[in-house]
């Protein structure tokens, strides 16, 4: 145990010891162990976008065992995925990497912005998971039902010693596609996730746009400051209880290495707790993915300066 991890665990005053033990398990895993940072491999895109859109670029990734091996070989903090994928590898790779069960999911075939509950706390316990995760869509027509579903699932997870991860993705309702990643909207989503009891919050890196008319006056004095991504990252972390909740940032669609790494540097410089990198990892051939993940880990460790 390191001073950095002890400090982070101290952010969760009054939490159950089992939950803190699982947070420590995530924070003490892999190459980032003890640093207070996380790099997580999420593989829920097959559910969200379909198998070909997710895996055709690197057919090896159709096999769940491949993504287990990739996360372990890269020395990552955890693997996050839906029930079936984790069940296909949790036995073979038992104890080699912490698992996060993604317990609600959407698909690209429907017309409503929603996620169905696809797994339970019992599933997470049987798989040996350290945490359970839920997506919420602040702003959508279904947001309040989603909040209630997360409340029920999070309460059961905590009672059983599991940490809770919330993917906070504002969308739907009156939000345009550009507004979904606006600075004020991303910060609002992170704050809602913290209020719902998340231990770890996943959001998208925000743009400099301020979308909500009522919020513009609050942001106007710092508009010049927020032209820098690192400052926007710092603001989103501030929105999550003044940095007393772990906030990690998604990697988005597959892009050139330089763009991914520049964004990771801004996340680090802004005080983000790490990255959750999916398509930019498993859509590359294994050796290329390992090189990129190595660079991401070294950035978060401050070893690229």
Is 204 catalytic? The answer is no
Q: Do 47 and 304 contact (CB within 8 A), yes or no?
A: no
Nearest to 169, CA basis, from 138, 200, 201: 138
Nearest one of 270, 284, 220, 277 to 240, comparing CA atoms: 270
Q: Name which of 213, 224, 166 is nearest 185 in CA terms.
A: 213
Residue from 37, 102, 202, 204 carrying the catalytic annotation: 202
Q: Report the DSSP pairing between strands 116-117 and 104-105.
A: antiparallel
Q: What is the DSSP string of 28-90?
A: TSGGGTTTT-EEEEE--HHHHH-HHHHHTTSGGGGSHHHHHHHHHHTT-SEEEE-HHHHHTTT
Q: Choose among 158, 133, 239, 150: nearest CA to 194.
A: 239
Secondary structure letter of residue 163 according to DSSP: E
Phi then psi for 146, rounded to 5 degrees? -65, -40
For residues 10 and 117, give the distance between their C-alpha atoms in angstroms, rounded to a whole number. 31
Closest CA relative to residue 183, chosen from 137, 133, 241, 225:
225
The catalytic site residues sit at: 202
């Amino acid at each position: 145990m390191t001073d950095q991890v002890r400090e982070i665990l101290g952010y969760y005053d009054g939490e159950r010891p089992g939950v803190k033990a699982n947070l420590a398990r995530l924070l003490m895993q892999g190459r980032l162990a003890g640093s207070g940072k996380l790099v997580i491999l999420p593989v829920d895109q097959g559910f969200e976008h379909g198998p070909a859109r997710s895996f055709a670029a690197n057919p090896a990734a159709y096999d769940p065992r491949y993504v287990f091996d990739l996360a372990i070989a890269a020395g990552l903090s955890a693997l996050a995925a839906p029930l079936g994928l984790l069940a296909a590898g949790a036995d073979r790779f038992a104890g080699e990497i912490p698992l996060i069960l993604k317990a609600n999911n959407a698909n690209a075939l429907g017309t409503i912005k929603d996620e169905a509950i696809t797994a339970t706390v019992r599933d997470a316990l049987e798989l040996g998971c350290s945490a359970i995760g839920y997506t919420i869509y602040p702003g959508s027509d279904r947001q309040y039902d989603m909040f209630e579903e997360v409340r029920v699932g999070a309460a059961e997870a905590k009672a059983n010693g599991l940490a809770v991860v919330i993917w906070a993705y504002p969308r739907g309702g009156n939000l345009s596609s550009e507004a979904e990643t606006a600075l004020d909207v991303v910060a609002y989503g992170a704050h809602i996730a913290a209020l719902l009891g998340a231990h770890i919050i996943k959001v998208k890196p925000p743009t400099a746009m301020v979308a909500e008319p009522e919020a513009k006056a609050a942001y106007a004095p710092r508009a010049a400051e927020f032209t820098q991504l690192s400052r926007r990252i710092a603001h989103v972390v501030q929105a999550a209880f003044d940095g007393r909740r772990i906030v990690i940032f998604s990697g988005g669609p597959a892009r050139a290495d330089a763009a991914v790494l520049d964004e990771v540097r801004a996340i680090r410089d802004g005080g983000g707790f790490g990255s959750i990198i999916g398509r930019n990892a498993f859509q590359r051939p294994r050796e290329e993915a390992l090189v990129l993940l190595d660079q991401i880990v070294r950035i978060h460790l401050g070893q690229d300066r």
